[in-house]
Homo-oligomer: A and B are copies of this chain.
């Protein structure tokens, strides 16, 4: 009897460690005692020139989710820590909840799930906060259910969660938070996610000023059309950024990180934007811009100490514009979300 129990634990571990999905008609292995904890990193979407197509993951900060089966049916969010009571506990209104509901429906699992969410990402920060919660929850529930899907397959469920939270389903936070690294969303229909190789030593500093921008509002600032001339420059830059990353050509990366589409409008909502950019460049950052829809600004740097100095200078520049801010320095994260 004891031997059987250990055998079950071994089989369960083997199932959990493989990335191949199991056949959908197998009944997923469930264990009501299991509590799975997963981490999903913050992400920088757009990366200045690649509006809605580029994103990369950082090492920290990131959201943490605990998940376990319930004896009753239904998905509940039992606790959210770190959001100041602002996020909805209703599972069909919360990105983590929506992602898990989508996952269970697709898998045909009727068992209930309990979610506990530790928000380490500030809300409305432009660091992919909503994506991070959804991704951590998905990686956890997928593990709990016996790894039904690869990470790439989980994107679909997180997209639905983003649609609920942000009013539009964009994958430029979800994909890098899930699979890590520097990601190109070449196409949304069909979804085509491409990992772009990048120099190992790249570091990123995120500086988050204490104002809040909603992605929905930031998107409304954008014009529905753009001049062909500007568009040509923009796709020259997206092509240039990919070439720069893959060639490890930092000067090309720097020249390509220029935006004619989103930053000209969105920068108006961020006090100190110009000064922050100048400060980062002054410390040797390769490039600097708005992370996602802001107000967080990021700088891409060729090592940790440059990133740290750039971050301090950016923080100071925000300070002069009357804003306090937190800063996060880390390498780019090549692994993405993980079970802890």
Q: Given A54-B239, A185-B236, A235-B239, 14 other A-B contacts at CB below 8 A?
A: A49-B235, A51-B235, A52-B232, A53-B236, A184-B236, A186-B239, A187-B237, A223-B228, A224-B228, A225-B227, A231-B231, A239-B239, A242-B242, A242-B243
Q: Contact: A243 with B184, CB < 8 Å? A: yes
A23 at the interface (CB under 8 A from B): no
Tally of this chain's copies? 2
A-B pairs, top 10 by smallest CB distance, nearest first, are A235-B235, A186-B240, A235-B238, A238-B239, A242-B242, A53-B236, A186-B236, A225-B225, A231-B231, A246-B246
Contact of A235 among B222, B223, B234, B247 (CB under 8 A): B234
Pairwise interchain contact A53-B232, C-beta atoms closer than 8 A: yes
Q: What would be 26 A-B contacts, judged by CB atoms less than 8 Å apart? A: A50-B235, A51-B235, A53-B232, A53-B239, A54-B239, A184-B239, A184-B240, A186-B239, A187-B240, A192-B236, A192-B255, A194-B240, A196-B243, A197-B247, A223-B228, A225-B225, A225-B227, A231-B234, A231-B261, A234-B235, A235-B235, A238-B238, A238-B239, A239-B241, A242-B246, A246-B246
A305 close to B (CB within 8 Å): no
Q: In the complex, which of the residues B192, B237, B247 contacts A240, with contact meaning CB atoms closer than 8 Å? A: B192
Known: A223-B228, A227-B225. A187 touches B233 (CB 8 A): yes
Answer yes or no: A142 CB below 8 A from chain B CBs. Answer: no
A252 at the interface (CB under 8 A from B): yes
- Smallest distance from the beta carbon of A49 to chain B beta carbons, Å? 8
